[in-house]
Structure 1
Amino acid sequence: MCPQCNTRYDDWDHGGEGEEDLYAVTVQRCVGCQVIADKQDELARDKGIDNHGVKVALIPASAAAAIEAHREATRRRRNDEDDD
């Protein structure tokens, strides 16, 4: 079995007459995968970041907003402590 496409060699007719392949090719665009690939390209191109080992993931917008609010609160608290 092919580790990449998970088909077996014998699943294909190999040009035999009248035999249909067991699989058909379909093309599908995943917007999430496209956004991830775009971000990876942006990091490499605009920010000069080496992408080896860098994972770009999608999280719910509400979770991203909560993380940013927590970071901002932490920044404000640190600034207040520095002022004292």
Structure 2
Amino acid sequence: MAYADFARLTCPQCGTRDEEWQPEAGGDRHAYEVSTTRCSGCQAIERKREELPEGLSPAGLKLGLVPAEEYARFIEQREQQQAARHR
């Protein structure tokens, strides 16, 4: 029960609770500093999202990262399966 209350009061976006920022609740208005980082993986996903065809519905569409070697094997297997169907 205590964890459920804690989770409910925690912001899903930043991971902090309001009381951490409020001096009257024992918090500090300067409890955190904003840190800026850039994730190359997230950047690659966003670039791919921008390349999606116009009119493609985003409903249910998930973009994710797969190791390049694994992806190459997947493409090769798919091409072999398609070639076998056309024989």
Q: TM-score range by the shorter chain?
A: 0.7 to 0.9
Q: 1:69: Cα distance to partner?
A: 1.0
Instruction: Tell me if structure 2 keeps the 8 A contact 1:11–1:21.
Output: no
Match of 1:72 in 2: 79
Query: Normalization by structure 1: what TM-score?
Result: 0.72
Please list every run of 5 or more consecutive structure 1 residues that lacks an aligned counterpart in the other structure.
Answer: none
Q: 1:72: Cα distance to partner?
A: 1.4
Query: Normalization by structure 2: what TM-score?
Result: 0.70
Larger-Rg structure: 1
| Residue 24, structure 1, aligned to residue 40, structure 2 | no
Q: How does 1:1-80 map to 2 (within 5 A)?
A: 1-12=10-21, 21-43=30-52, 46-80=53-87
Which structure has more relative contact order (CA 8 Å, sep 6+)? It is 1
| RMSD (Å), alpha carbons | 2.0
Please list every run of 5 or more consecutive structure 2 residues that lacks an aligned counterpart in the other structure.
Answer: 1-9
